[in-house]
Every structure is written in C-alpha cells, then in structure tokens.
Amino acid sequence: METKATAEGRTRIDTKSLVITALFVALSFAGANIKILGSIAFDSLPGFVGALLLGPAFGAAIGFLGHMFTSLTSGFPLSVPLHIVIGLSMALTMLGFGLSYRTLQSKLSRSANVAITGAVGVALNGPVSLALSMGALALMAGKDAAIGLLALFPALMVASVANVVASLLIFKPLESVWARIR
C-alpha cells in the first residue's frame, strides 16, 4: 500500500493509488461481463493486477469490492452472506498473491517469483476460495448444499488460471508505466 506519514505520525493513503484502486474496482465490475464459463468471469483480473501494482492491501480492497459490486448487480444469486464470504476470500486471495510477489521479489529471479506467485494466486482463488465458500454454505444450508458447489471446481480452476496468467502478462508493461507516473 502506497502511504505517506503525516506530521502527527498518522498514515495517509496516496491519492494516485486511491484513484487507481477505484478504477480497478470499476474494471473488476466490467470484467464480470467477460464470461469464461457460465457465471465465472474476468472480475478478479483487476484485483490481481492491483495487488501487484499497488500492493496487497489495495489488491484486497479491489478483490472484495469488485466481487460485491458484481454480485449486487447479479442479485446475489448465492445469497448475501455467502457472497460476503466469497468477497472476503477474494480479499484474502489478493492479499496472499500480492504478499507472495513482494516477499519473493528480492529472493528469487523474476521468472521464479512469477511462477510461484502465480501458483499461490491460483491455489487461493480456486480450491481455497471454494473450500471457504463450501464451509460457509454448509453452515447456512447444510452439507449437501455445500457439496453441490464442487460442480464449480473445474470452471473455477480454468478461470483462476486465466485471471492469474492474464494479470501477470498485463503487470509487466504496467509496472514500468506506474514507476514513471509515481
């Protein structure tokens, strides 16, 4: 997260980062209309890019807000409480993805970092997110309803890989642009 300390010692969020975050939330909303399989779409792509470009905390905000706005316009098809859990898992995914990239940046080559960070993103966005959603649904509607979510696993994995790979491809040219305008 790009922040600046004030004279009183408090942290202030950089305006450029905040504006870009809002733009990425809007892009997440638009990406929800680019479907991969059924209702699974490119809505997490901006969150992944934001986590790399702006930092893990901004990526988490983009992931959560992007999912919630997308779900709102879809009428919360899986229920509001379950979509809150999914939104939180999106935030966790972007946080883990961004932290992985930043932590490994000084320890590994760029290609090794990208490969590991990509695997972290796919794992968090796919099986981990699905497991959290299934746990929440089991509490709300029972074990049988939760097991029904397993039908989403193949499509969710395809979408996770597509969103992560696209974000890593987009990030490289954006990184140099972002460095110049900072």
Q: Tokens 């499509």 sit at which residue?
A: 155
Q: Tokens 């399989």 sit at which residue?
A: 37
Instruction: Kindly report each contact of residues 140-143 with a partner whose C-beta sits within 8 Å and lies 24 or more positions away, as own/partner.
Output: 140/79, 140/81, 140/82
Q: Tokens 């491809």 sit at which residue?
A: 169
- pLDDT, position 4: 54
Pairing of β 40-41 and β 35-37: antiparallel
Q: Write out pLDDT tens, residues 112-142.
A: 999 999 999 999 999 999 999 999 999 999 9
Please give the residue that has the higher pLDDT: either 182 or 113: 113
Q: Write out pLDDT tens, residues 45-68.
A: 999 999 999 999 999 999 999 999
> Residue 39 — very low, low, confident or very high, per pLDDT cuts 50/70/90?
low
What is the set of domains in the chain, with CATH numbers? Answer: 3-181 (1.10.1760.20)
Cβ atoms of residues 87 and 68 within 8 Å: yes
Q: Write out pLDDT tens, residues 156-168.
A: 999 999 999 999 9
* Percentage of the chain lying above the pLDDT 70 cut: 92
Residue 6 pLDDT more than 60? no
- pLDDT, position 1: 46
Distance CA 153, CA 170 (A): 25
Q: pTM of the prediction?
A: 0.89
